[in-house]
Chain A
Amino acid sequence: MNPIEIRNLVKSYGHLIAVNNLSFDVREGEIYGLLGPNGAGKTTTLKVLMGLLDPDSGTVNVFGISSVSDPIEVKKRVGYVPEEQLLYNSLTSREILEFVASIRGLDYFHAKNRVTEMARALDFTSHYNKPIVTLSQGNKQKAMLLIAMLHAPDLLILDEPFSGLDVRTTRIMKDVIRIHTEKGGSVLLSTHIMEMAEGLCDRVGIIDEGVLVAEGTLEELRDQAESEGATLENVFLKLTGEEEEVREGVDALREALDN
């Protein structure tokens, strides 16, 4: 049984079809990157997976549990970092982690050791007792990763985890993700940073206007795009049909800047 199995998922907002007949799996121990331009349907897919949005049709299972009928069980098995950083600004990281540990019913010693080790690994110890509002964006992201990983989940679902992070924090986050999979965990992350997906993901799925246009390892994607030795960025542009569009845009921009 795969950690994630999505079959024929359709989700629309009014007349806009955000996700259209999407199917893919995330296998055990792999880092799967969901790539796509802004508004492609990545966040919607992840929210449906977490049971936060109801799909129009299709099935969405996490470890064989339906996200639609049993979202609570799904959330017990998953660590989720959403795109928005909406934390309780007036609480400290300690207070939020206390709340999360209590809700998840964690053992005191297990939780304390986990937080101590994770905070040290993320270089977060000095921020542990500070109010969230005083933290930088990077430290807020670390706090959200701590919250997501506190219960040692089997699966991490990360929505744009590298947005706005500095080099050091990005490196730490990448290492945390790798260590998680080395220990048998799985990761589904959405990103539009090609270098990140190229260096980190075992497989990627390229989604555009709600449709999965390609899927596989980087080599497999190069074959699909018939672009031997190309970077993921070039493969992405070719598969999403944006190569020509980008070229025209750059030419127009050059002309505009010359005038």
Chain B
Amino acid sequence: MLEANPSNLSRIKEKPERVVNQIKRSASWNAILTGFVIIMIGFLMVASVLFLGIPGERELNFAISLGIFLGLGFVIIFFVNLTSAAGFFNAGAMLLPSTLPFSRPDLEGLMTLVFVRIFVAPYVLLLTIFPLITSLAFGIVTGIFVLGALVTTLILSLGALIRAAGWFHQKSQSGDESAFSVIIRVGAGIGMTLGIVMAYGAMNFVPYIVEFIIFVSTAFNPEVLSIFALIFPFSFGFVGAMLTYGLVFSLPTNTIAIAASIIYVFLSLRSYRSSGRILRSLALGGVPMAVASTIRPIDLHISSSIPALIRKDIRVATRSLGSIMLLVFPFLMIFVILPTLFIGYTESTVIRSFSVLMVVGYATMFAGLSIMGLLGLDTQGASVYEGLPLQTRQVLNSKITIFAISYAATLLIVFVLLLSSRLISPFLLFIPLFQLPCGYSIGGAVGGVIYRIRGGGRVTSVNLVGDQAVSFMALIVSAIVGFLPLIGYSVILLQTGSHLLSILSQLSISLLEMVLLLIGIPRVLRD
């Protein structure tokens, strides 16, 4: 945690209790959030089997739902803990034990336990809540089997996490400037962001996924189930269904599910044994780093301060996977909002104000996380910042500029999509355009509030994954600032029915917010 946030490292002497509390709070938030997701998905799965399943399909529903739950458990452990797990290799937690007279297997076992300690709360929650729910709903035998399947799944996710975190650590510390390397890193960042969004958003889709698989198996060929029975972690789902309802599937499906489950248990044991070895080599042996091989003549490219700050941020962002993940958030929103815009839209229908407001609102709500990601870019460079005559305002302005560009790009894509659509009123085209001043307002409000609360008004660095309380606050602030113009539009439309007046009120509120923040932000900042 301290390594993830050097501003804490440099200020820990000033207010140690506050930093310690912050670390504890972050861990609690992580556990609460993960526990909430697990409980929601678990209940959803059990409820869909008990109350929604059609007789005859209930067994299949159980098998697929359990498989999906195990898969989500894997994804939650893997993605949510990837950034914090990578810090393990820098933290030096194993340096002292490595000097003590431990045998190599003992040291490797100890390393695995210390590594697991990082995310013990989600592990414990996963291993207790869901087996308990299934025991109560389907009987003790099913509960015990689910516990075993979860242990296997979590060991496999641990193995995957260790390997991926090692790669992540290596890449995020690499100064490789080649375009290919940048593409790989940016691609990995986008993948990771999608993974986290999917992990937390998955609970909305569980019934649809189950429905889809059941549809595929019944509509095409029942033997398609044998393929699912082979795939991890659905194999466990089918075996679980057999233990609960008897041998309800065909012989090949039953056989494949049992055989595949045994193989996955065997693989998890192998993965556990090799985890300690990999951890030892990463934590104590380091990782190979890319080194510039040619000595180039000394040169400098000097610009004015704001472009220099922006260029530095973009350089750091494209070389650090954790930063990329947050920087690409507004662009990710484009993919998230597209279906929302066109749900129920056909050539004969028109897009109404509500749909456009929803799309712009959705992109706006999550924008706070992006500005947080930008503030987090300076976690590495505290020693550079401390000696520089940089005004807090200058730093914040550079962050706002980068954020505003990505936010404007998101809104302009919505605008272009609306250009080619049939709208209930042409004034709807202006909704994304008149939201543009919020690029400044959201960036300024979120940045200003975080600098004020976490840094006492000075530049400070925040970590989205490590400081979920601030992440939540960023979401709230960006939602308030970003939604006000849209609410203004909605209220005036409901009162007058005039799209022209509505759009003018949206523009007025957007501009007013911007002016107020232009005046207000300097007052909360300190140098």
Contact = CB atoms under 8 A, between A and B. Distances in A.
Contact of B305 (A86, A92, A103, A134): A103
Report the contact-size class of chain B (Cβ under 8 Å from the partner): 35 or more
Contacts, number: 159
Interface stretch (A76-84, A213-221, A228-236): A76-84
A80 B174 contact: no
A172 interface: no
B117 interface: no
B14 to A, nearest CB: 6
Given A72-B389, A90-B175, A84 B290 contact: no
Interface stretch (A22-30, A50-58, A195-203, A237-245): A50-58
B384 A112 contact: no
Contacts of A95: 312, 315
B289 A134 contact: yes
Contact of A133 (B9, B173, B301, B384): B173
A80 B386 contact: yes
B389 A96 contact: no
Contact of A129 (B295, B311, B319, B387): B295
Interface SS majority for chain B: loop
B291 A99 contact: no
Interface string A92-124: 101111111111111010011001100100000
B426 interface: no
Given A13-B14, A97-B300, A112-B299, A88 B386 contact: no
B175 A91 contact: yes
B6 interface: yes
B295 A126 contact: yes
Interface in B4-42: 6, 9-10, 13-17
B221 interface: no
A108 B300 CA distance: 7
A148 interface: yes
A63 interface: no
Contacts of B319: 90-91
B383 A98 contact: no
B227 interface: no
Interface in B252-297: 289-292, 294-296
B20 to A, nearest CB: 12
Contacts of A104: 388-389
Nearest to A106: B302
A61 B290 CA distance: 44
A72 B295 CA distance: 35
B383 A82 contact: yes
A82 B9 CA distance: 13
A73 interface: yes
A174 interface: no
Nearest to B299: A112
A129 B296 contact: yes
B450 to A, nearest CB: 19
A71 interface: yes
A209 B299 CA distance: 46
Nearest to A84: B383
A76 B16 contact: no
A250 interface: no
B191 interface: no
Given A14-B17, A99-B384, A119-B298, 8 more contacts: A84-B383, A90-B315, A91-B312, A95-B312, A98-B302, A99-B308, A102-B304, A131-B292
Interface of B: 6, 9-10, 13-17, 172-175, 289-292, 294-296, 298-305, 307-309, 311-312, 315-316, 319-320, 380-384, 386-391, 527
